[in-house]
Amino acid sequence: MKNLLHSLIRSILIGLVVITLTTIVVYQLIQAQKLISSQIGWSEIIIILALALIIGISISRFYVSPVKFVAKLTLNFFSIFYEEFFKQGAKYFATGNRNKPFETIVQIAVSEKISMLGFVTNVTSDGNHIVFIPTSRRLTSGINIIVSPSSVRKTDITIEQLLKFVVTSGAFPIDSIK
């Protein structure tokens, strides 16, 4: 009985909000045309409450429930990815991985006059290096490239120097790359 009363009041309130907003707009239109009567009787109030109940039930059944369903479905969908991400991260750090990604900073020659700096994140079974080249916009964004060992030149740049260089879009100078 308590839940029924709570649901009934909730539906009436939702309906009243919708009717109030609609009434404001309609009233302004009618007032502009000077067609409104200044007297409202009990029958009009009962009709308004009945309409509020019908609209409130309709909205709570056909609008609020689907929104909650979609929100819950979306949350469950993305939680699968987060769980897997955390499982893989925990597995990676718990195994004592010998590769220390982001510790080795390398220079990769794109051409004679152009080179890029990046972090070695892994080495493939055939000896190629997987290098993450961060972008200045966000440190978590960048590109991963696979390059042969002959294209990779280790540097003496520290992680801090490279991060300052990337975050400042090159404004923080790296004095020398050896």
Using the predicted structure, report yes or no on whether residue 37 has a pLDDT greater than 60: no
89 and 109 within one domain: no
Q: How far is residue 23 CA from its own chain's centroid?
A: 37
Does 174 fall in a domain? no
In a domain, 133, yes or no: yes
In a domain, residue 127? The reply is yes
Sequence-separated (6 or more) residues with CB below 8 Å from residue 156: 177, 178
Does residue 151 lie within any of the structural domains?
yes
CB neighbourhood size of 38 (10 A): 4
Name the more confident of 126 and 2. 126
Residue-level pLDDT at 59: 67
**90 and 7 inside one domain:** yes
Based on the domain organization, do 69 and 132 belong to the same domain? Answer: no
The residue out of 94, 114, 148 marking a domain boundary is: 94
Q: Are residues 89 and 6 in the same domain?
A: yes
| Within-domain flag for 176 | no
Q: Is 15 exposed, middle or buried (0-12, 13-18, 19+ CB in 10 A)?
A: buried
Q: At which residue do the structure tokens 């609209």 appear?
A: 55
Number of domains, the chain = 2
Q: What is the pLDDT of residue 161?
A: 83
- Could you tell me if 83 and 109 lie in one domain? no
Residue 175 lies in a domain: no
Q: What is the pLDDT of residue 71?
A: 66
The reply to whether 177 falls in a domain is no
Query: What digits encode the pLDDT tens for the residues 120-148?
Result: 888 889 989 999 888 877 666 788 899 99
| Separation of alpha carbons 42 and 87, rounded Å | 64
| Residue-level pLDDT at 11 | 74
Residues 120 and 151 in one domain: yes
pLDDT at 121: 86
> Is 173 contained in some domain?
no
Q: Which domain holds residue 58?
A: 2-94
Q: How far apart are CA 151 and CA 6, in angstroms?
A: 71
Q: Record the pTM.
A: 0.45
Please give the average per-residue pLDDT across 44-56, as a whole number: 72
Give the model's pLDDT for residue 90.
Answer: 62
pLDDT class of 35 with cuts at 50, 70, 90: very low
What rounded mean pLDDT belongs to the chain?
Answer: 74
Shared-domain flag, residues 57 and 137? no
pLDDT of res. 97 = 54
